[in-house]
Structure 1
Amino acid sequence: MEPVASVVDKIKGFAKSSEEFFKVVIHRRDDSSRRNPIEILKRLQREAFSDLMKLRDRQDKVERMLSFYKSSKGNPFQEASTHVKGEVDVVGALLLVDNIKQQTCDIVDRAGVRTGTDSRFIFEATIRQKDSLVAEFMASQRGQGSNGGILGSTLSLAKVMYTANISDWCSAVLVPVGARCRDVGIASSIFQQGRGLTDFSLGPPLLYRYHDAAAALLVRRSKVAACLAEFVSGLGMQPDSTGSRHFLSTFGQVIYQLSKGTTLTLLGIHKMPKSQSPRTGLGFLTVPVGGLRCHNHLGMPTEASLPSAPTNTEDNRPTGSIGLMLETELDESSRIKGWVEMQNSNPRYLQWAVTLSDIPEDELGWGLSLGGMIQGPSARDHFQVEAFLNFNSGKRFSFQPGFVYVMDGTDRVPALMFRSSWSL
């Protein structure tokens, strides 16, 4: 039995030594693979990818927290993007007359010739991606004669306008400073393009009269658009001898697209004077609803607080005007515009103009305008012809030399004019 036992012990010893040998060989191979540079780079890449995924998860959490903070507690003006635009407009005239009289100056004024320099800076901010806030600063020397100086007046706030787009077809406009009917009115792209030498080539005068404040509601559909606005004029001004200085005006406009490139516009304004006491001490943007009376210590109205008797009752009557515009687009640069305006208080007083223009963007253009005023049988009629050339240098500079011939009754006033505009 001893030989058998010894053989078994030898077999066990050989198996054990073989196991130890294989363990040593496998361990050496593992160490060599770990020390291999390729394996080391692979292991570092796996570790770096894991760290990057952890950082990306943290960044997503931070972005979600910031977006929630902006939507819940953010100021609507924080995301507003502001655009600044500068404009300089210069108009000059050379009157071809022997002598300048006051009557000649009156004729030139009725012809809508406004010489001088206008400088303005416009700041427009987009709020909530739908609404817009516009602030306009202007320095003007138009119509001031020699009192305005060469450089005009100082730069001052001329307009503040906020437009809220309620929906795709409805919007509201609020103008607390420097309101005009053109600001709240709906103007087609045809009517906005091109400017002439005089006011007659712009459009009906009721669109360009200045008011103090306005609020309007605009509605647009596929072929019809309408506007209804309320204006306040004469705020902060002292009353005249009639005791009337504040005016409440209602403006309405309806524009209809007759065909592609042709629109018809009906617009009008109704002005209601409001009686005021001689001195109320009210500041700007203070609109009294009822009559103002100053009381003494007994609570009775004093004699000075009563409104003074108007010298002319017609000054306190409601006034207004109504206008009609027809605009046609012949091609990309050719336009035909015609308008007529009639006063409600005096139907015989009529203003009109027809303008034909061809003003390409980067080429030589031209324009021709005929206009006038019919003031009834007791007054002389007014008629004028305006012709000009137009040079555009991109979208930032334009130059318009032209000729204006005015016939006012028996008087004739020819003039050479120019207009130059720069955009910054």
Structure 2
Amino acid sequence: MEPVALAVDKLKDFVKSSQDFVDGFIHRRDNPARRNPIEILRRLQREAFTDLMKLRDRQEKVERILSFYKTSKGSPFQEASTHVRGEFDLLGALLVMDNVDKQNCNAFSRAGITTGIDSRFTFETTISQGESLTAEFVASQKGNRYLDEVSGQPLSLEKVSYRVNACDWLSVVAIPVGAQSRDVAITSVSSHQAKGLTKLSSLGPPLLNQHKGSGIGLSVRKSNVIASLAQFISGLGMQPDADSAGHCFSTFGQVVCQLPRGIKLSLLGLHQVPKSLSQHVSLGPLTIPVVLSKHPTAPETVVEASSSAIRTSTPENFSSGSVALMLESELDEVTRIGGWIEMHRSNPKCLHWAVSMSDDSEDSFGWGLSLSGIHGGPTSEEHFQAESYLKLNLGKRFSLKPGIAYIAAGNARMPALILRSNWSL
């Protein structure tokens, strides 16, 4: 029986293998591409070629768009390089005085307490690496010299500046509108980021804060010495009843020496030369008249019909200026102490001075203390004031400064409670 069973098994295996061979041959004839490796490679090549052509078309479109914006003056991402900063400053004061008279009002004005609301918006655009264009818009409602006079100023353009950092040791700035000596000076406090409560104790020597109209300046840095030089031109302020007007050319210079232990010693100077005109004329902003004639014209004589008074006006050129010395020191990362003194060329006995110490920590608590005054002023009255305040940081963008000030000018004695708040965005 065993040979018979063995023969039957072999017959079954032969039949099964024959059937598999026939089935494979039939399917290969029905769809030869599924079994032929060459056909499979050709099909994959065609699909890959189609995908590559689609990607190439998309790449060409992107390259055309980028090349268009590179050759054009604008940039599709220009808004990403413009930074906008806003700052709102409010200052209020409670004065204690025996009488509201002219003497007390003059002392209040010289103290630099400008109550009211001040808002500032700064647009800074980065043109390229080391080049920036800045525009500042300001709106304010500040008190004038006398307590009952308040002036409101709508949002207007205050300053336009273009700065170029040519290299590590040279930088140039051009300011066609709203130039000040502070824009070129090397200081740790800007004009709209005062540390104290009043202008007299916060903004440094007065020569830094005078409006100069238009100007251009440069700064050079070498080791631990920094030098700055600038030239300004501005309209010469005239009284309402004046018959002549002109321009004022000013030259500003500063040398800063970096001493050990974080001490900075600065020497500043400002020289002014007014250029008057024989008639009251207005040539418009950014206009500089150049007089070619070496000999001035004959004085103009005006005869009024109601009287026989004769009024003449002749050109007058006189120079003035001031010199200041500043000293700043950093006791630690947040505590700073500094002082300055300024002397006027027209009156060497007139000295402006201030000494301050502050803690500008970004934590919830800070403080400040300052002493300032004017010695030998135009009215020959001594002016002295002391200030002290606390700084409460309510978040990263809002701060409160409650403080007290004491003002002594001549016979006027005036304590004041001052509250200053600052909000930035």
TM range (shorter): 0.7 to 0.9
Q: CA 1:30/1:387 → structure 2, altered by over 3 Å: closer, same or farther?
A: farther
1:5 maps to which residue?
Answer: none
- More divergent stretch after superposition (169-178 vs 334-343): 169-178
Q: Within 5 Å, which residues of 2 pair with 1:74-85?
A: 74-75=73-74, 79=78, 81-85=81-85
Instruction: Give the conservation status (yes or no) of the 8 Å contact 1:238–1:278.
Output: no
- Count of residues in correspondence between the two structures: 391
Q: What is the CA-CA distance between 1:99 and the residue it aligns to?
A: 1.5
- More divergent stretch after superposition (249-258 vs 71-80): 71-80
- More divergent stretch after superposition (224-233 vs 52-61): 52-61
Q: CA 1:62/1:223 → structure 2, altered by over 3 Å: closer, same or farther?
A: farther
1:218 maps to which residue?
Answer: 219
Aligned identity (percent) is: 46
Provide Cα deviations, 1:265-324, integer angstroms capped at 9, x if missing partner.
21111110101122334112111121689xxxxxx98946998137xx7xx420111111
Q: What is the CA-CA distance between 1:31 and the residue it aligns to?
A: 5.9
* 1:156 counterpart letter in structure 2: S
* 2:247 counterpart letter in structure 1: H
Provide Cα deviations, 1:58-108, integer angstroms capped at 9, x if missing partner.
555555555555555544797462222221111111111122111001011
- More divergent stretch after superposition (230-239 vs 106-115): 230-239
How does the TM-score come out when normalised to structure 1?
Answer: 0.80
The 3-state SS of whatever aligns with 1:278 is: coil
- Distance across 2 between alignment mates of 1:240 and 1:248: 23
2:345 maps to which residue?
Answer: 344
1:383 maps to which residue?
Answer: 384
2:11 maps to which residue?
Answer: none
Q: CA 1:56/1:264 → structure 2, altered by over 3 Å: closer, same or farther?
A: farther
Q: CA 1:32/1:343 → structure 2, altered by over 3 Å: closer, same or farther?
A: same
2:313 maps to which residue?
Answer: 308
- Distance across 2 between alignment mates of 1:326 and 1:50: 74
The 3-state SS of whatever aligns with 2:104 is: helix
* 2:138 counterpart letter in structure 1: M
1:179 maps to which residue?
Answer: 179
- Distance across 2 between alignment mates of 1:208 and 1:190: 10
- More divergent stretch after superposition (234-243 vs 318-327): 234-243
Instruction: Give the conservation status (yes or no) of the 8 Å contact 1:276–1:291.
Output: no
1:11 maps to which residue?
Answer: none
- More divergent stretch after superposition (365-374 vs 128-137): 128-137
Instruction: Tell me, yes or no, if structure 1 residue 408 matches structure 2 residue 403.
Output: no
Q: Within 5 Å, which residues of 2 pair with 1:234-245?
A: 234=235, 241=242, 243-245=244-246
Q: Report the RMSD for the aligned CA atoms in angstroms.
A: 3.7
Q: Within 5 Å, which residues of 2 pair with 1:80-229?
A: 81-144=81-144, 146-148=148-150, 152-188=152-188, 195-199=195-199, 200-229=201-230
- Distance across 2 between alignment mates of 1:378 and 1:167: 48
1:34 maps to which residue?
Answer: 33
* 1:390 counterpart letter in structure 2: K
Instruction: Give the conservation status (yes or no) of the 8 Å contact 2:143–2:149.
Output: no
* 2:335 counterpart letter in structure 1: S
The 3-state SS of whatever aligns with 2:367 is: strand
- Distance across 2 between alignment mates of 1:223 and 1:108: 40
Provide Cα deviations, 1:168-221, integer angstroms capped at 9, x if missing partner.
322221111111111222224799976110112221111111121111122233
The 3-state SS of whatever aligns with 1:206 is: helix
Q: Where do 5+ consecutive residues of structure 1 fail to align? A: 1-21, 294-299
- Distance across 1 between alignment mates of 2:416 and 2:381: 21
Q: CA 1:419/1:263 → structure 2, altered by over 3 Å: closer, same or farther?
A: same
Q: Where do 5+ consecutive residues of structure 2 fail to align? A: 1-20, 303-310
Provide Cα deviations, 1:9-62, integer angstroms capped at 9, x if missing partner.
xxxxxxxxxxxxx999779548657347x9999877654444444444455555
Instruction: Give the conservation status (yes or no) of the 8 Å contact 1:211–1:231.
Output: yes
Provide Cα deviations, 1:242-286, integer angstroms capped at 9, x if missing partner.
735421111111222112522122111111010112233411211
* 2:251 counterpart letter in structure 1: T
- More divergent stretch after superposition (49-58 vs 109-118): 49-58
Q: CA 1:62/1:205 → structure 2, altered by over 3 Å: closer, same or farther?
A: same
Instruction: Give the conservation status (yes or no) of the 8 Å contact 1:250–1:271.
Output: yes
Instruction: Give the conservation status (yes or no) of the 8 Å contact 1:236–1:284.
Output: no
1:8 maps to which residue?
Answer: none
The 3-state SS of whatever aligns with 1:103 is: helix
Instruction: Give the conservation status (yes or no) of the 8 Å contact 2:69–2:76.
Output: no
The 3-state SS of whatever aligns with 2:153 is: coil
How does the TM-score come out when normalised to structure 2?
Answer: 0.80
Q: What is the CA-CA distance between 1:417 and the residue it aligns to?
A: 0.7
- Distance across 2 between alignment mates of 1:344 and 1:273: 15
The 3-state SS of whatever aligns with 2:154 is: coil
- Distance across 2 between alignment mates of 1:374 and 1:41: 99
Q: What is the CA-CA distance between 1:364 and the residue it aligns to?
A: 0.9
* 1:264 counterpart letter in structure 2: L
- Distance across 2 between alignment mates of 1:404 and 1:93: 10
Q: What is the CA-CA distance between 1:375 and the residue it aligns to?
A: 0.8
- Distance across 1 between alignment mates of 2:63 and 2:31: 47
* 2:386 counterpart letter in structure 1: V
- Distance across 2 between alignment mates of 1:289 and 1:252: 24
The 3-state SS of whatever aligns with 2:94 is: strand
- Distance across 2 between alignment mates of 1:320 and 1:125: 35
2:255 maps to which residue?
Answer: 254
Instruction: Give the conservation status (yes or no) of the 8 Å contact 2:116–2:143.
Output: yes
* 2:164 counterpart letter in structure 1: A
